[in-house]
Amino acid sequence: MADETTAPLAPEAVAETVAATGETVSAKFSKALEDAKASAVALGKDLQEKAAPYREKLEDKLSSADLAAEARAIGEQAKERALALAAEGKVKASDALSGLGKLFADNASVVDDKLGAKYGDYARTAARSIQETAAKLESKELDELGKDAVEFVKKNPAVAIGAAAVVGFALAKLLGGGGEEAVEADNDAAE
């Protein structure tokens, strides 16, 4: 039977693994971005088609003053709902970050054993940083987070675009954009 202990990985092997993982992540991100774009286009067309009959009914029944008043009321409801969802999202994100930081901290000893103390220290540092970020997120108000987000986008526009693409992809998936399966199902239904 082979020796059960494993020697620490050579830096070259770690670098190759990281490079391969980076390429895989990049390919998956590109695919996700393409799916998000296709889903967003399909969703936009679908929403326009579904809204057309309602738009016609509204034009026939309501005057512009009635429309403005109703739009304000709907806008207020949407604002309240968005704030509630944002607060809920903040709590969930904070909890997720805390859990991720705990996971890193709990597994730092495994990293010590497998890759060496240096990499274990990196894992512990990352865990602390993630947990501190979670605590900061939890302690900030939504308005302050919004200002921080605007500042971040101004400083890091490329990262912001990537994050927006990921969020768009996730929303498209949540709102029923099933990617290739949905397109195939639509094609099958049309036949």
Give residue-wise pLDDT tens across range 26-40.
Answer: 667 667 767 777 777
Domain containing 186: what range? 156-191
Residue 126 in any domain: the answer is: yes
Residues 137 and 177 in one domain: no
Model confidence at 8, in pLDDT bands (50, 70, 90)? low
Local structure of 6: helix, strand or coil: coil
Residue 72 within a domain: yes
SS3 content of the chain, % helix, strand, coil (to 5): 90, 0, 10
Best CA proximity match to 118, nearest among 22, 9, 18, 12: 9
Residue 6: left if φ>0, alpha if ψ -120 to 50, beta else—which one? beta
As for how many domains the chain has, the answer is 2
State mean pLDDT over 9-37.
Answer: 68
DSSP E strand stretches across 51-165: none
Q: What is the pLDDT confidence band of residue 1, given thresholds at 50, 70 and 90? A: very low
136 and 165 assigned to the same domain: no
As given in the structure block, the two tokens for residue 86 are 């944002």
pLDDT, average across residues 86-95: 84
User: In this structure, is residue 102 part of a structural domain?
Assistant: yes
